[in-house]
């Protein structure tokens, strides 16, 4: 498509138009998906609490998220008199934007990726770690006690679990031999007998579990939602926000949740590959398998939020620094040692 636009509109402008169209082809469905998973989230919580959940607006309540979006859009944006006005406004924009840019390197199928860069995994780590800046700026710019405490918690929580995630990903990179996400998915084909996915490997399965739990902490989902602990901090960094600025935080949060679900599927469970290396399954488009896995992980996120009580803050930090970090660091040595023995004859 890019070549056609470049031939029609000129090299520079054609590239710009083609790239803009590709960005919209990802961003617009993602916004629709966020609206739908908010609805799914509420339905799953309701089912686990033996309630109905949204069931009034539209058939089966499907339009509830859009009604909520219209409601916040029509409300007044209130900025506290003591707040730093510029930073207060820009904070939710940062959170929302960072949640979108990370999708640029997520492969939806063979050759179905906006930016197929060789360091895609490094780009994802960099982009996902930027999301905390929106929270920190929001907490500081609000000039309020509880949002500021929330910002401090968010910074500590991000650092704690970003370190573990980095070590968790090293065995995946070593096994696949590339930072390119498409290459990582390709390396998972028939990885264990006829199963597609690093998660089926006994050596990498513990890393898949740690990554799943760390991704919940990274996105501040329950039981790690200490940044928004309503019993302690009212609504955390969102306390002073209203109208569309509040909605942008929600969109950014759920966009990050979807991103982490996609990363779990991509790095450990075969991405667009079918779970079993059986020829008839490849007739189904790879994007279907990826979306199915994303929804499965999102169900796990919702399940945990509906059933697991919130950690205390000291428990949150202990899990990250005293359990996940030593285990992931140890596992880097185990996996690298195994690969040295298996591929290079170890000490020969």
Q: Do 34 and 254 meet the contact criterion of CB atoms below 8 Å apart?
A: yes
134-180 per-position pLDDT tens digit: 888 888 888 888 888 888 888 888 888 888 888 999 999 999 989 99
Percent of the chain with pLDDT over 90: 26
The 10s digit of each residue's pLDDT in 198-257 is 999 999 999 999 999 998 888 878 788 877 777 777 777 778 888 888 888 888 888 888
* 45 pLDDT more than 90: no
Residues 266-284: pLDDT tens digits? 999 998 999 998 888 988 9
State the DSSP string of 29-71: HHHHHHHHHHHHHHHHHHHHTT---S-SSSGGGTTHHHHHHHH
Q: Give yes or no for a contact between 224 and 313, defined as CB atoms under 8 angstroms apart.
A: no
pTM > 0.95: yes or no? no
Model pLDDT, residue 233: 75
Q: What is the pLDDT of residues 287-324, one digit of tens each?
A: 999 999 999 999 999 999 888 888 888 888 898 889 99
Q: Which of 23-27, 128-132, 262-266 has the lowest mean pLDDT?
A: 128-132
68: left (phi over 0), alpha (psi -120 to 50) or beta: alpha
Of the two residues 112 and 348, the one the predictor is more confident about is: 112
What average pLDDT is seen over the chain?
Answer: 85
Tell me how far apart the alpha carbons of residues 8 and 70 are, in angstroms, rounded to a whole number. Answer: 39
DSSP assignment of 296-319 equals HHHHHHHHHHHHSPPPPHHHHHHI
Measured CA distances, 19 to 6, 15, 308 (Å)? 11, 6, 42
For Cα atoms 68, 130, 218, give the angle at the middle one, nearest 5 degrees. Answer: 70
**pLDDT score, position 345:** 66
**How far apart are alpha carbons 222 and 216 in whole angstroms?**
7
b/e map 39-77, b = 16+ CB within 10 Å:
bbbbbbbbeeeeeebbeeeeeebebbbeebbeebeeeee
- What pLDDT is recorded for position 332? 93
Separation of alpha carbons 209 and 319, rounded Å: 13
Strand partners, 276: 195
């Amino acid at each position: 498509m890019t070549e056609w636009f470049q031939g029609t509109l000129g090299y520079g402008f054609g590239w710009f138009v083609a790239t803009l169209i590709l960005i919209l082809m990802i961003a617009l469905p993602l916004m629709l998906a966020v609206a739908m998973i908010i609805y799914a989230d509420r339905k799953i919580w309701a089912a686990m609490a033996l309630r109905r959940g949204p069931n009034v607006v539209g058939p089966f309540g499907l339009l509830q998220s859009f009604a909520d979006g219209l409601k916040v859009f029509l409300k007044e944006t209130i900025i506290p008199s003591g707040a730093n006005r510029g930073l207060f406004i820009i904070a939710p924009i940062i959170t929302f934007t960072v949640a979108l840019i990370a999708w640029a390197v997520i492969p939806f199928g063979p050759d179905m990726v906006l930016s197929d860069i060789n360091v895609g995994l490094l780009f994802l780590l960099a982009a996902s770690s930027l999301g905390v800046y929106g929270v920190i700026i929001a907490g500081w710019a609000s000039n309020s006690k509880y949002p500021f405490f929330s910002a401090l918690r968010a910074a500590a929580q991000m650092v704690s679990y970003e370190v573990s995630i980095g070590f968790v990903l090293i065995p995946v990179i070593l096994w696949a031999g590339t930072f390119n996400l498409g290459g990582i998915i390709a390396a998972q084909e028939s990885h264990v007998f006829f199963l597609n996915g690093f998660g089926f490997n006994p050596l990498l399965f513990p890393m898949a579990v740690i990554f799943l739990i760390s991704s919940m902490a990274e996105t501040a989902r329950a039981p790690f939602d200490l940044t928004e602990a309503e019993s302690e901090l009212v609504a955390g960094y969102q306390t002073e926000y209203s109208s569309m600025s509040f909605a942008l935080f929600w969109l950014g949060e759920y966009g990050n949740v979807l991103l982490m679900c996609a990363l779990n599927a991509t790095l450990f469970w075969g991405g667009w590959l079918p779970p079993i290396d059986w020829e008839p399954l490849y007739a189904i488009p790879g994007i279907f398998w990826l979306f199915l896995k994303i929804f499965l992980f999102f169900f796990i996120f919702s399940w945990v939020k509906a059933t697991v009580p919130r950690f205390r803050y000291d428990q949150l930090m202990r899990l990250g620094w005293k359990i996940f970090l030593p285990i992931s660091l140890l596992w880097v040595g185990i996996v690298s040692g195994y690969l040295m023995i298996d591929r290079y004859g170890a000490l020969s």
